[in-house]
Structure 1
Amino acid sequence: MDYMKSFGSLSLGSRLKRLSDRLVQDVNQLYQSQGINLNPTFFPLFNILHQQGAMTVTEAAERLGVSHPAISKIARKMQQEAWLSKTADPADERRQLLALTVKSEALLEQIAPVWTAIQAYLDALIGSQQHPILDSLAEFETLLQQQGFYAPIVQQLERRNEGQQVAIQGWDAALRDDFKRLNMAWLMRYFDGEITERDEDALNNPEGYYLARGGYIWFARNVTDNRVVGCVALACHADGRFEISKMGVDEAWQTVGVGRRLLLAALDKARELGVAEVFLESSSKLDRALQLYRNLGFRQMPHPDGHSYYSRADIYMALSL
């Protein structure tokens, strides 16, 4: 088993590095078999100088989309091996230009057929993929460039700390309107305010719909201003089954762990009651919620009744406790 794959997106950088190491090793072996003594990691700088002529380290870094120190390091190594030269720019002696040497120009005739063969083989591999890697990689690089990596994650971690300022509490009749408010906001945002008869019963009379039937309701409250920012219900059905129901989190408080804490409160109560299994019904529109359910062990399966009462629900999930 390739455990690296099981780490999911957390191993993206490591898997790309592993793939890069494998390709560099194989290309190096190919070069050696053809009598070529060139470090494969020199290729980007070597090729851009070949295609576009002499340029500064800064220009090469910008065109290749890598850091200035990375290009400087490669340039020093290539200069030591006499693959490139560094000379003052005739137009501005403060600028140092990188250029291929006579040795490099002599190598081009020998190495060009090898590059052509490598490219043809890789293009064939990529062409056989359902999702071509270069297109996917370009899309990912664009998203990363637009949205960043470091700053958004730091912001998310800071917001998660804010989530610790939330207290989870049980039913309070004074919070009845908050239960309806949060769930109506959810219905309006994702399902154009679609309300069924069961929705009306649950939201207008949560005591009768949940509590009187052996169910429970929890709220997430911001301890700073006492504002209710989330809720969830554990419904007890006539057949003895328990359902996670009506979980809603204020949009401003999503992604900081509030939903997870609410769900854990419901699951802890189910375990306390000796419940063997809980279920929930959801929608394929709710990617974030579905990921949370999966992370906590819920598994998607066929609906026991063939379909849900709710037209908006197309996913049935259950968790054995």
Structure 2
Amino acid sequence: MDDDIAQLYAQRGVPVRTRFSMALIRLHHLGPMSVKELAEQIDVTHSAMSQTVTAMRGDGLVESSPGSDARTRTVSLTDRGRALVPFLEDEWRATERAWAELETELPYPLTRVVDDIAEALQRRSFLDRITQHLDERGEGHGPEQEA
């Protein structure tokens, strides 16, 4: 689906990577913020957002300036980035409607699957599941264990 959204952007002449969309929308609505705050808004790591901001800055969509202390940078939209937000918001709403339409064609809602997976992982983590399967087969001994 992400590839299809990227294809839509290309067809419409929107020079944005799909991972930029929500960051640009949040900056438009909430105003300038630090990389850390933006990462929290999008629910990604600081490192991932730092890389995204660098790429967006390279594309002329955002600019950054010194933050409240020497360790922070404040990110804000450029006019070019701001001009893309109306399309990105329209695409976001259209994507949500397309997702809802897709769900009606399935015998169960995809959101139910996501909720069921989250509930199962609360009972037993994915790490525990992987570890059990490695241990059952005698696999997964790291280099320090093989010596």
Same fold, TM-score > 0.5, yes or no: yes
The answer as to whether partners of 1:57 and 1:72 remain within 8 angstroms in 2 is yes
In the alignment, the residues of structure 1 paired with residue 124 and residue 29 of structure 2 have an alpha-carbon distance, to the nearest angstrom, of: 31
Is 1:156 aligned to residue 135 of structure 2? no
Q: Which amino acid aligns with 1:118?
A: T
2:69 to 78, 82, 93: 93
1:47 aligns with 2:28: no
CA distance in 2, matches of 1:158, 1:113: 46
Identify the structure with bigger relative contact order (alpha carbons < 8 Å, sequence gap 6+).
Answer: 2
CA deviation vs aligned residue, 1:101-142 (integer Å, no higher than 9, x gap): 221111223443333333222221123333221342244246
Aligned residues, how many?
137
Aligned partner of residue 137 in structure 1, secondary structure:
helix
The Cα shift of 1:36 comes to: 1.6
Per the normalisation by structure 2, the TM-score is 0.71
User: Which residue number in structure 1 is paired with residue 83 of structure 2?
Assistant: 106
In structure 2, distance between residues paired with 1:84 and 1:119: 26
The alpha-carbon distance between structure 1 residues 87 and 140, as it changes in their structure 2 partners (threshold 3 A), is farther
Larger radius of gyration: 1
Counterpart CA distance in 1 for 2:86 and 2:10 is 16
Worse-superposed segment, 56-65 or 80-89: 56-65
Matched, 1:130 2:107: yes
Any idea what SS the aligned residue of 2:26 has?
helix
Structure 1 pair 27–160 and aligned structure 2 pair: CA distance change class (3 A): closer
Cα distance 1:160–1:112, how it changes in 2: closer, same or farther (>3 A)?
closer
Matched, 1:27 2:5: yes
Indicate which of 53, 74, 77 corresponds to 2:55.
77
Please identify which structure carries the higher strand content: 1
Q: Which amino acid aligns with 1:97?
A: T
1:140 alignment partner in structure 2: 117
Q: CA deviation at 1:56?
A: 2.4
Between stretches 59-68 and 117-126, larger displacement belongs to 59-68
RMSD: 2.9
Aligned partners of 2:25 and 2:88 also within 8 Å? no
| TM-superposition CA deviations, 1:199-236 (whole Å, max 9, x none) | xxxxxxxxxxxxxxxxxxxxxxxxxxxxxxxxxxxxxx
The runs of 5 or more residues in structure 1 that have no matched partner are 1-22, 163-321
Distance 2:39 2:105 in 1: 32
Q: Which one has the bigger helix percentage?
A: 2
Change (3 A) 1:128 1:58: same
Q: Which amino acid letter does the alignment assign opposite residue 68 of structure 1?
A: H
